[in-house]
Chains A and B, each alone.
Chain A
Amino acid sequence: MSKTADFTQLISDNEGALFKVSALYTNDRDSQKDLYQEVVLQLWRSYDQYEGTAKRSTWLYRVALNTAISYLRQSKRQRATVELDAVLPQLSSEGNELLEERLALLQQQIKKLDSLEKGIILLYLEDRSYDEIAAITGLSPTNVGTKLSRIKEKLKKQMKREA
């Protein structure tokens, strides 16, 4: 398979994951689109350096999260009020209202976390193992476990406060 075809296949396979990363780190659809494109560009740029020592998904999440975090740092717009509806995916079929509502609540909670916490919870929700989360974030697996427990506590408190 050619490099371009291989790369586009990788992006197509992980379209959903990239969507979720860009949705969690931005506040409106334009920024989301911009970040999505930036992530694809960064993946393309670093594609040659990908040596295959890490799993493809580990490498992809690492690049995507690093790009999102640096995007967040650069963008002052992130301090604006969170327009949740704007970042929700187009769940077009009928009967998705409930899912949309629950997603909005979930995103609302996650967006209150800091950049690293956001990344960790996203990877946890994506069913990544502690080892993989550690490889992506650069933390040790034990540290991931500790951070994750703290994030869970934080989320619980947040939700309780708002209930």
Chain B
Amino acid sequence: MELDEMKGVWSDLTEQLETQKQLTQDLIVKMTQEKSSSRLGRIIKAESIGIVVSIGMVLYLGWNFNQLEHWTGIGGAIGMFGILALGIVFATRIIRKARTIDLMNNTYSEVIRRFDEFRALLRVYKKYAVWTSVLSVVFVIPVTAELFMEKNITEMEGLYEALIASLILVPLVLFFITKFYSRNVSAVKKALNDIDFKD
């Protein structure tokens, strides 16, 4: 096929497409909004994964609870149950709140109002994540020691090393959690700017 022939084929295609125009104003607006709303879906997906992982951890702890004998392990497991349960509740609320930000069926001001509520909830969740990540170190170490090393925390070798490692890891984890949420919030903000499809 020569280039001139290519141009001919292309021009035939252009003509064919001209006769097949299908997009209406509604469809174009809907298409744009749909694409924007998928960004909220990412947050919902991330939170859903968080819920599944937390439920998995709760089940694992529940299954192995009778292996814990020392009070530090039992206390740690109870503390972790609490943190995970609260985390699941928070994540569920975030998902539910995110789902109320209906870009297709609400007015812009309504969406903005719901987004503000959503952001407020995320702020609370962030504070919760900061506190629990510090607390979880205290809870995780005795549980891990008993379940994986079959020793209670008082007999555990390398306790101080584990504590130091946790002290280094906690700020890192916090940094990523904070980054994750700020990124998600700005993604939603961006989505809201995208949906302002009115003059």
Contact = CB atoms under 8 A, between A and B. Distances in A.
B31 A4 contact: no
B7 A109 contact: no
B16 A99 contact: yes
B49 interface: no
A80 interface: no
Interface residues of A, number: 35
A16 B18 contact: yes
A44 interface: yes
Interface of A: 2-5, 7-8, 11-12, 15-16, 19-20, 37-38, 40-41, 44-45, 89-92, 96, 99, 102-103, 105-106, 109, 125-127, 152, 155, 159
Contact count band on B: 20 to 34
Classify the secondary structure of A's interface with B.
Answer: helix
B168 interface: no
A37 B34 contact: yes
A121 to B, nearest CB: 8
Contact of B21 (A15, A91, A126, A152): A15
Is the contact region of chain B dominated by helix, strand, or loop, or is it mixed? helix
A125 B35 contact: no
Contacts of B17: 15-16, 19-20, 89
Contacts of A12: 21, 23-25, 28
B7 A125 contact: yes
8 tightest Cβ-Cβ pairs between the two chains A and B: A16-B17, A125-B10, A8-B25, A41-B35, A8-B28, A102-B9, A2-B199, A37-B35
A105 B1 contact: yes
Interface string B10-22: 1011101110111
A159 B1 contact: yes
B32 to A, nearest CB: 5
A42 to B, nearest CB: 9
A91 B35 CA distance: 27
